[in-house]
């Protein structure tokens, strides 16, 4: 366990390039080419991490002011992803889940039950999270591990189904997304897009950044869009005028630099995936192989980021009126653009539909996060984390784990049954879920437009 935690301590900007370097060598890349592209991937991750941190710090002042100005009071406090990552990375199941997930992935590739190789080892802790909440409610270590594996398998299947769309939308051949809390909302977003297709008038609205920029020139560009969004968010936070102007400049920078840095990551990733694809085709002509990574690559498209930023104040407002929501958005609210990316990806960058999808996704996140508060509080206290005693603790990130939450509720319902019987029932339910997912993604898609 200490070894796994030590390696993860280096962070994704180091862990992922090392993994990509090793795989590049395995698939036959020359040492220099493997090192160059792996380091480029690392630079891309590091740049994205720095820019996301900058975006978060730019959002934090405004969002905290919005919450304070609205005088909001809730039973549950969003303490952010560090809360759930802390008790997940401290779990005794950590090394077991990491090992079993990777072995399961290799078995599924060899048996043609997935095309995705999840190389995003840093984010495997999300599957540990699925296990620890189930372990907490059932009292069984191995049922928790089983829940982690089920979440991992469902995530791989979604990654398979979204891969063609991601590869076209982000211009990243042989790549897909395997970050659990992000892809969990892809089925709903794609389904919502098909529903909107059938609603008269609304189905004709297309807020596409390219079209907006063509009509408005500079004022429709990502740079101007970022400045406008920054000013709006600063104004909603009732910040001083100087801070509002600064907010506008900060977000203009984010809108220009974040897609650029995502492009750097992709420029290192694509050559490695192409080498791997050629290696697979030579030995297994009928096979395809996708590399599963985290969701930051979607920020290569400015529309994804624009909708994500706009969803921040909207989420705070939704939290005040949403029935059954008891969680106050706080620590994770600046990270919200990460959790709603598929709202825009699913509709090919149509920001109007992206906002509709984003609102639906956020409602689910707030409901799930509220319901997970008791178990999150218990796990935080068990891990000796310093959490408030006057409120329950949860997180937007935790609520984003839709399939982890689904398995948590299944095992909570079946906890009084024989563990083997409950496991068989849940496995059968997982098979049904995968069939439903296939049906959702097999609905004939409209032609994908890059924006």
Q: What is the pLDDT of residue 397?
A: 95
Residue tagged 């290569």 (tokens): 300
Using one digit for the tens of pLDDT, what is the confidence trace for 56-88?
888 877 877 877 777 777 899 899 898 999 899
Task: Please give the Cα distance from 177 to 116 (Å, whole number).
Answer: 9
For residue 119, is pLDDT > 60? yes
Question: What percent of the chain clears pLDDT 90, i.e. is strictly above it?
Answer: 54
pLDDT band of 3, cuts 50, 70, 90: low
Give which of 46, 36, 428, 354 is closest to 185, Cα–Cα.
354
Task: Please give the Cα distance from 4 to 100 (Å, whole number).
Answer: 13
Question: Mean pLDDT score of the chain, rounded to an integer?
Answer: 89
Asked whether 135 and 101 are in contact (CB, 8 A), the reply is no
Using one digit for the tens of pLDDT, what is the confidence trace for 386-402?
888 778 999 999 999 99
Using one digit for the tens of pLDDT, what is the confidence trace for 204-220?
999 888 777 777 787 77
Q: 146 versus 448: which is more confidently predicted?
A: 146
For residue 331, is pLDDT > 90? no
For residue 450, is pLDDT > 60? no
pTM: 0.88
Q: 15 versus 401: which is more confidently predicted?
A: 401
């Amino acid at each position: 366990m200490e070894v796994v935690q030590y390696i993860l301590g280096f962070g994704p900007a180091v862990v992922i390039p090392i993994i990509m370097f090793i795989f590049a060598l395995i698939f036959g890349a020359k040492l220099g080419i493997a090192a160059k592209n792996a380091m480029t991937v690392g630079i891309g991750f590091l740049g994205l991490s720095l820019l996301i941190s900058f975006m978060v710090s730019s959002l934090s002042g405004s969002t905290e002011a919005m919450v304070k100005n609205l005088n909001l009071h809730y039973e549950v406090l969003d303490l952010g992803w560090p809360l759930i990552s802390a008790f997940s990375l401290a779990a005794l199941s950590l090394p077991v889940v990491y090992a079993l997930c990777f072995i399961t992935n290799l078995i599924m590739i060899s048996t043609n039950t997935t095309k995705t190789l999840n190389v995003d080892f840093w984010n495997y802790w999300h599957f540990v999270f699925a296990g620890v909440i189930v372990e907490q409610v059932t009292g069984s270590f191995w049922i928790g591990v089983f829940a982690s594996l089920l979440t991992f398998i469902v995530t791989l299947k979604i990654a398979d189904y979204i891969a063609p769309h991601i590869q076209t939308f982000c211009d990243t051949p042989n790549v897909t997304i395997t970050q659990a809390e992000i892809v969990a909302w892809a089925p709903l977003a794609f389904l919502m897009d098909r529903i909107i297709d059938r609603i008269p008038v609304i189905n004709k609205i297309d807020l596409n950044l390219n079209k907006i920029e063509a009509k408005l020139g500079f004022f429709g560009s990502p740079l101007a869009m970022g400045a406008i969004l920054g000013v709006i968010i600063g104004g909603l936070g009732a910040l001083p005028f100087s801070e509002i102007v600064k907010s506008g400049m900060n977000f203009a920078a984010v809108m220009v630099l974040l897609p650029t840095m995502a492009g750097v990551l992709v420029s290192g990733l694509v050559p490695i995936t192409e080498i791997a694809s050629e290696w697979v085709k030579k030995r297994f002509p009928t096979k395809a192989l996708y590399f599963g990574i985290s969701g930051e690559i979607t920020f290569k498209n400015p529309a994804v980021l624009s909708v994500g930023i706009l969803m921040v104040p909207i989420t705070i407002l939704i939290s005040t009126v949403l029935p059954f929501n008891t969680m106050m958005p706080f620590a994770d609210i600046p990270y919200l653009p990460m959790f709603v990316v598929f709202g825009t990806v699913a509709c090919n960058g149509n920001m109007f539909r992206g906002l509709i999808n984003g609102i639906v996704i956020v409602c689910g996140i707030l409901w799930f996060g509220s319901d997970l508060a008791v178990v999150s509080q218990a796990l935080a206290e068990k891990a000796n984390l310093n959490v408030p005693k006057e409120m329950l603790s949860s997180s937007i990130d935790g609520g984003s784990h839709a399939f982890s939450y689904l398995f948590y509720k299944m095992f909570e319902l079946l906890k009084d049954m024989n563990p083997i019987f409950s496991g068989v029932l849940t496995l059968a339910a997982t098979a049904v879920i995968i069939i439903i997912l296939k049906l959702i993604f097999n609905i004939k898609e409209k032609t994908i437009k890059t924006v």
